[in-house]
Amino acid sequence: MAIPSLLDHIKYRYSIVITNTTTGDIIDVSKSFENAVWTTYRHSSQSGVLEVTIKEGIHLTDTVIHEGSFINFFVNGEGYFHGRIEEVELINNGEQGYVWRVKAYNSLWLLSMVENAKREHGMTASDFFQYLMDKYSHRGLQGVVREAASIPLDREYYMGESLFNMIDDSLVATHSQTADELFMIRDNMGVLEFREMKALQTPYVLGDGSFTTSYAYTANINTDTYNVIKGVRFNDDTGYVDTWWDTDTGTIDRWGWRQHIIEIQDHILDEEIETYLELVLEAKNRPVRNARITAVGIADPNMQAGAGIQVRINRKQIDHMLFAETVTHVFSANDHVMDLEISVVVPVVGEV
C-alpha cells in the first residue's frame, strides 16, 4: 500500500473549525486556509503548537477570532490538532485584504498547573498519571492509559509542584529501573495519552531514496554511553555499601572504560539485581544517535513526536529504528514538508 503524502495535494482537504468559548459560535474558516505549521515535542513539558494563517482577501466578512477559542485542524477528515488559541493577530494588507494569524497550544499546557498530590506506595507511573487526570478533570484535563507501566514506585509527596514535574519524576523513576519500558505523554485531539514508546513505531522509512530531501546524522559515545554498570546499596546490617557490577569487555576495548553508577532501590531483591544491571547495561552500552531530517510530508496524524521511524543512511550503513524528538509539519495549499529531530530512545536489541 502506498504511503500517503501531500505531494499530490489535490487529494488533500484541510478543515479548520474554531469554537468561540464566549458565545459558543462555531466558525469554519477552511476556505480561507493559507498555511499551517504543526509542531510536537516528545518531552511533555513542551506543548504541541499549531500556527495557522487564514487569508480572507479584500471582501469583509463577519469572521472574528478571539483568543481563548478552541481550534480543530483536520486533514482529509482526520483530526491532527485540538487546542486553545493563545495568540491572535489581525493584519490589514491594504489591497491584499485581511489576514488572521493564530497560535494555539494543545492540552499538554495543562500539565503546567501547580498543585499538591501524593503518589501512594505501590502505584505505577501509569496509575499515578490516571489518578492526576481524574483528580483534576474539572480543570479541563482528560487522560487515558493506553499502555500501562509495570514498575511499582515508592510513596512520594509533591508539594507545590507542576503536574508535569510529578509525572516526569514518576517516569524517570520507572525508566531507571527497567530498560524494557519507556513511556511518554502524548496529546490526541485534547485527550492526554500515557503511551509506551515501542507501541508508537510506524511503518515509515526515511533516508536515502525514501521521502528525504536532506539529512544530518550524528553518533557519539560522549554523553550517555556506558559499558560498565556499578550498582550500590547501603547495607543497614553491616554498615557498608554493597556493590554489584556488569561490564562489556568488547566495547571497553573499543571505547575505553565508561562507568555508570546506579543506586539499587530497597525493593529490588538480591536475586533480581543481576538481571537489573544487565538491562541497564543493554540500554546504555551503545552510541547516542541523532538525525535531523527534512522530508516530503507524510499525511498521518501519528507522524509526530514520539513516532518510531526506520532511518536508512547507506553511507554510514545505518538502518535503525529511531524515535522522533521533535516533528514540524508545514502545510500549504501546494506543499507539505516535515522537519524532524530523531534519536534512539529505546534499546536496539543485539546492536551497539
Q: Is residue 315 part of a domain?
A: no
CATH number of the domain within which 79 lies: 2.30.300.10
* Angle (nearest 5°) at CA 105 between 99 and 107: 150
Q: How far apart (Å, rounded) are the C-alpha atoms in residues 38 and 343?
A: 20
CATH number of the domain within which 148 lies: 3.55.50.10
262: nearest Cα among 250, 278, 286: 278
Which residue blocks in the chain are alpha helix, DSSP H?
Answer: 125-135, 163-175, 249-255, 270-284
290: nearest Cα among 265, 320, 254, 270: 320
Q: How many Cα atoms are found within 13 Å in the side-chain-facing hemisphere of 246?
A: 17
How many C-beta neighbours within 10 Å does residue 198 have? Answer: 16
100 and 115 housed in the same domain: no
Q: Is residue 128 part of a domain?
A: yes
- Give 119 or 209, the one with higher predicted confidence: 119
Q: Is residue 352 part of a domain?
A: no
- 330 pLDDT band, cuts 50/70/90, is very high
106: nearest Cα among 136, 74, 80, 78: 80
Q: Averaging pLDDT over each range in 1-15, 35-49, 213-227, 265-279, which range is the top one?
A: 35-49
97 and 14 housed in the same domain: yes
Cα Rg of the chain (Å, integer)? 24
26 and 84 housed in the same domain: yes
Tens of pLDDT, residue by residue over 70-90, are 999 999 999 999 999 999 999
Last residue within a domain, chosen from 87, 106, 125 = 106
149 and 124 housed in the same domain: yes
Tens of pLDDT, residue by residue over 99-118, are 999 999 999 999 999 999 99
Q: Is residue 205 part of a domain?
A: no
Q: Is residue 214 part of a domain?
A: no
- 11 pLDDT band, cuts 50/70/90, is low
Average pLDDT of 183-195? 97
Tens of pLDDT, residue by residue over 280-305, are 898 889 888 888 999 999 989 999 99
Q: Are strands 201-207 and 318-332 parallel, antiparallel or unpaired?
A: unpaired
Residue 276: predicted pLDDT: 85
- 59 pLDDT band, cuts 50/70/90, is low
Last residue within a domain, chosen from 89, 106, 123 = 106
87 Cβ contact list (under 8 Å, min separation 6): 67, 102, 103
Q: Is residue 313 part of a domain?
A: no
269 Cβ contact list (under 8 Å, min separation 6): none
Q: How far apart (Å, rounded) are the C-alpha atoms in residues 112 and 345?
A: 24
Last residue within a domain, chosen from 197, 219, 247 = 197
133 and 92 housed in the same domain: no
176 has pLDDT over 80: no
Element (H, E) at 295: strand 288-296
Q: Is residue 276 part of a domain?
A: yes
Summary mean pLDDT of the chain? 89
Residue 188 backbone dihedrals phi, psi, to 5 degrees? -125, 90
Q: Is residue 290 part of a domain?
A: no
115 and 178 housed in the same domain: yes
Q: How far apart (Å, rounded) are the C-alpha atoms in residues 264 and 231?
A: 6
Cα 153 to chain centroid, rounded? 23
53 and 78 housed in the same domain: yes
In the 8-state DSSP scheme, what is residue 114?
E
Domain coverage including residue 42: 9-106
149 and 184 housed in the same domain: yes
- 7 pLDDT band, cuts 50/70/90, is very low
47 and 133 housed in the same domain: no
Total of domains in the chain: 3
